[in-house]
Amino acid sequence: MRITVRLFAALRERAGEGVREIELGGGSCIGDVWPALALGDEPPGIAYARNREYADRGQPLQDGDEVAVIPPVSGGGFRVQPEPLDLAAIVAEVGDPGDGAIATFIGTTRDHSRGRVVTHLEYDAYPEMAETEMARIAAGVIERHGVTRVAMAHRTGHVPIGEASVIIAVSAPHRGAALDACRDAIDTLKQTVPVWKKEVFEGGEEWIGREGSG
């Protein structure tokens, strides 16, 4: 089967081209793409997309598929932590002298939800997977919106009223792209990042499920 492979950033420079056609045998999967490129050892932290959707290495391929090999996102950072989040530090991670805009989203704990008085939130997470998924979200946001850098941080454990549970920062040459990318990032994070929220209210508590904002 014939596969089109797209390469970006340092991987594109290593290959000397951004698009390469490769031949693979029947029954091949995503994990067979890198060896077929003959570019040396596979770099740590890279992700794959098949036909513009993220895919794991075991996903089967079909003739005519397009596979994107996505390097780790440069700049920014992705972390899950029990400590309070530092907005200034996260913004500093995306700063670039060529950019004219930095957009941020801060999800905070509010004192009312669904007619109940909330006392605090508690978050649980699968940190290693969550941080990997944040990096994948950032790579997609950068590709879709043409922004420069993305940083994300999510808090775990006890989060009091008024404190931040999630912060996203995006830098871009222009404000429109930065704002659109920031909204895209938080909407996707809430759907795909393995973080779960428990709402503690007067008289009870309830796990809301996988949830990205306070």
CA atoms within 13 A on the CB side of 168: 26
* pLDDT tens-place string over residues 85-129: 999 999 999 988 989 999 999 999 999 998 899 999 999 998 888
Judged against a pLDDT cut of 70, whether residue 49 lies above it is answered with: yes
Q: Is the pLDDT assigned to residue 72 strictly greater than 70?
A: no
Read off the pLDDT of residues 125-148 as tens digits, 9 standing for 90 and up.
988 888 889 998 998 999 899 999
Across the range 8-15, mean pLDDT stands at 83
With 0.95 as the threshold, say if the pTM is over it: no
Q: Are 186 and 165 in contact (CB under 8 A)?
A: no
How far apart, in whole angstroms, are the C-alpha atoms of residue 210 and residue 198? 9
- Would you state the pLDDT for residue 76? 67
Question: What are the C-alpha distances in Å from 163 to residues 137, 139, 201, 202?
Answer: 24, 27, 16, 19
Residue pair 172/146 in contact (Cβ under 8 Å)? The answer is yes
Number of Cβ atoms within 10 Å of the Cβ of 94: 25
* pLDDT band at residue 212 under the 50/70/90 scheme: very low
Q: 162-206 pLDDT, tens per residue?
A: 999 999 999 999 999 999 999 999 999 999 998 989 999 999 999
Domains of the chain and any CATH numbers: 2-70 (3.10.20.30), 78-210 (3.90.1170.40)
Predicted pLDDT of residue 114: 86
| 179 vs 9, more confident | 179
**Mean pLDDT of all residues in 46-63:** 89
Q: What's the pLDDT score for residue 209?
A: 61
pLDDT average, residue stretch 17-26: 94
Alpha-carbon span 172 to 89, nearest angstrom:
18
**In this structure, are strands 2-7 and 19-23 parallel, antiparallel, or unpaired?**
antiparallel
Counted residue by residue, the chain has a size of 214
Tokens of 63: 């003739």
Instruction: Return the structure tokens found at 98.
Output: 């060529």
